[in-house]
């Protein structure tokens, strides 16, 4: 545990907040878990107890550790109580900038001057939240993945005003919690993982929309031929189509035509309230459990197309100085379970091959998502085509 961060407050005891509180408590922190609703807090504590019991059953922790962790979490509806003597705050209230700014301002007012204030936002501006406080240099993004108790990855996001000390403290704090942090050096929409994933989802939606492959065919191909853990439609359903839709909209606003969303595919489902696994229906029917993806359609879609747009977006992240190849690869492997990161993949496959694929797709469809990033062209022109050449995204 970093010396200076002992007491923690988690604001919002929903899906993410309760899990985040549990992780801190399991590592010995005193945690206040704050929500506006007593009933939600009771529920959160029950979910934490259930999860701790699972850890004990799986022999990951001892019974007494579970009890101790539980006793360190104090549920409360009082901001004053939660923020007294706190060293670190992470908010996980609903994804709404105005709400988050209000929460940041309140935390700023009620917590000690040294306290770092972090947001678990998936897409919103850390800088704007920070500027709602009088300590923007002590505000930062700390983006956890669901479920926080099990997922290894944390994206640490530097806002425009975040200090080096704050970034370092949160990177170290994440490591001390047993997590692997990656650094998103700029406050850009989608950060690292959702940006790469957004590109891949879009490619699949457009291919489906154009009638080039069925959703089962795309999912079968990426899973059984491509080696990805889930198909893109299956994963979209799992994440929640309302979230996928909203993130897609934000990426489009931020990056323009490169992220032109395929609204015809996703919007009707969202409007009908078919949001995926959580509502029982989405692209697939989940009412009887996980959809079965047919093995025999595994050559219906060229999964190299998923890699091509993923590598292209990774190249944009590097081009824009948002992230390193290492962090992009770590993010995609730990955040989404990909067998390899896009930079590793490109280096093995050959950047010239990826560039060729993107050029071919761009010529065929004329869509910006296929237009190769200048960095990719530059690397290939310099002969940095990957592992075989001794230099690609990485040096060998
Ligand atoms: N669900 C995911 O998979 C996921 C993953 C990563 C990040 N996130 C982000 O985490 C945040 C929370 O998401 P969630 O899925 O846990 O949402 P959720 O709706 O499950 O939980 C939000 C909680 O915040 C509480 N709340 C609302 N207003 C509040 C206030 N003013 N003060 C204190 N508590 C308040 C609500 O009562 C609710 O319990 C969002 O920013 C989301 O984008 C979600």
Instruction: Kindly state if the Cβ of 16 falls inside 6 Å of ligand 1.
Output: yes
d(CA 376, CA 138): 36
Q: How high is the pLDDT of residue 4?
A: 87
The predicted-structure confidence for 229-262, as pLDDT tens digits, reads as follows 999 999 999 999 999 999 999 999 999 999 999 9
Nearest to 123 by CA among 62, 198, 231: 198
The predicted-structure confidence for 284-327, as pLDDT tens digits, reads as follows 999 999 999 999 999 999 999 999 999 999 999 999 999 999 99
Residue 251 makes CB contacts below 8 A (sequence gap 6+) with 189, 190, 194, 195, 198, 259, 261
Given a cut of 90, is residue 2 above it in pLDDT? no
Q: How high is the pLDDT of residue 154?
A: 98
Q: Residue 119: in which H helix or E strand, if any?
A: strand 116-119
Q: Which of 32, 51, 111, 122 is catalytic?
A: 122
Q: Which of 154, 184, 214 is the last residue of a domain?
A: 184
Q: Which of 165, 184, 203 is the last residue of a domain?
A: 184
Q: Ligand 1: which atom is nearest the Cα of residue 239? A: 3
Same domain, 155 and 278: no
Same domain, 222 and 271: yes
Residue to mutate (ligand 1; options 10, 11, 16; most atoms within 8 A of CB) = 16
d(CA 199, CA 20): 28
- The verdict on residue 395 lying in a domain is no
Q: What is the extent of the structural domain holding 240? A: 193-297
Q: Ligand 1: which atom is nearest the Cα of residue 91? A: 11
CA trace torsion 305, 308, 309, 315 (10° rounding): 180
The predicted-structure confidence for 7-30, as pLDDT tens digits, reads as follows 999 999 999 999 999 999 999 999
Q: How high is the pLDDT of residue 37?
A: 92
The predicted-structure confidence for 154-207, as pLDDT tens digits, reads as follows 999 999 999 999 999 999 999 999 999 999 999 999 999 999 999 999 999 999
Given a cut of 60, is residue 364 above it in pLDDT? yes
User: Ligand 1, atom 9: nearest CA belongs to which residue?
Assistant: 121
What's the domain count of the chain? 3
- The verdict on residue 346 lying in a domain is yes
d(CA 351, CA 384): 8
Task: Report residue 392's pLDDT band, with 50, 70 and 90 as the boundaries.
Answer: very high
Instruction: Kindly state if the Cβ of 366 falls inside 6 Å of ligand 1.
Output: no
User: Ligand 1, atom 6: nearest CA belongs to which residue?
Assistant: 145
Q: Residue 182: in which H helix or E strand, if any?
A: strand 180-184
Tell me if 163 sits within 8 A of 138, measured CB to CB.
yes
Catalytic (active site) residue 202: no
Catalytic (active site) residue 122: yes
């Amino acid at each position: 545990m970093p010396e200076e961060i002992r007491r923690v407050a988690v604001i919002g005891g929903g899906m993410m907040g309760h899990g985040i509180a549990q992780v801190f408590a399991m590592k010995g922190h005193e945690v206040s878990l704050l929500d506006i609703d007593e009933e939600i807090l009771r529920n959160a504590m029950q979910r934490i107890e259930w999860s701790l019991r699972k850890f004990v059953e799986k022999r990951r922790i001892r019974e007494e550790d579970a009890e101790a962790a539980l006793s360190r979490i104090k549920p409360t509806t009082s901001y004053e109580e939660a923020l007294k003597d706190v060293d670190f705050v992470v908010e996980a209230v609903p994804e709404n900038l105005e709400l988050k700014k209000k929460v940041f301002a309140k935390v700023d007012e009620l917590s000690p001057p040294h306290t770092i204030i972090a947001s678990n936002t998936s897409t919103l501006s850390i800088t704007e939240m920070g500027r709602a406080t009088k300590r923007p240099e002590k505000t930062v993004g700390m983006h956890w993945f669901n479920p926080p108790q099990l997922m290894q990855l944390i994206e640490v996001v530097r806002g425009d005003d975040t200090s080096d000390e704050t970034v370092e403290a949160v990177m170290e704090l994440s490591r001390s919690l047993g997590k692997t942090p990656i650094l998103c050096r700029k406050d850009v929409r989608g950060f690292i993982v959702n940006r790469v994933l957004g590109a891949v989802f879009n490619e699949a939606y457009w291919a489906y929309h154009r009638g080039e492959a069925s959703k089962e065919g795309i999912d079968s191909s990426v899973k059984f031929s491509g080696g990805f853990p889930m198909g893109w439609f299956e994963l979209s359903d799992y994440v929640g189509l309302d979230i996928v839709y909203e993130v897609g909209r934000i990426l489009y606003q931020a990056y323009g035509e490169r992220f032109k969303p395929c609204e015809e595919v996703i919007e009707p489902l969202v409007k009908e309230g078919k949001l995926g696994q959580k509502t029982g229906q989405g692209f697939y029917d989940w009412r009887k459990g996980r959809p079965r993806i047919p093995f025999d359609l595994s050559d219906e879609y060229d999964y190299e197309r998923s890699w091509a747009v993923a590598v292209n977006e990774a190249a944009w992240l590097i081009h824009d100085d948002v992230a390193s190849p290492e962090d992009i690869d770590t993010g995609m492997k730990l955040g989404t379970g990909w067998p390899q990161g896009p930079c590793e993949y490109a280096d093995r496959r050959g950047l010239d091959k990826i560039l060729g694929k993107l050029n071919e797709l761009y010529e065929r469809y004329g869509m910006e998502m296929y237009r190769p990033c200048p960095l990719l062209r530059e690397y290939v022109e310099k002969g940095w085509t990957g592992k075989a050449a001794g230099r690609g995204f990485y040096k060998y």
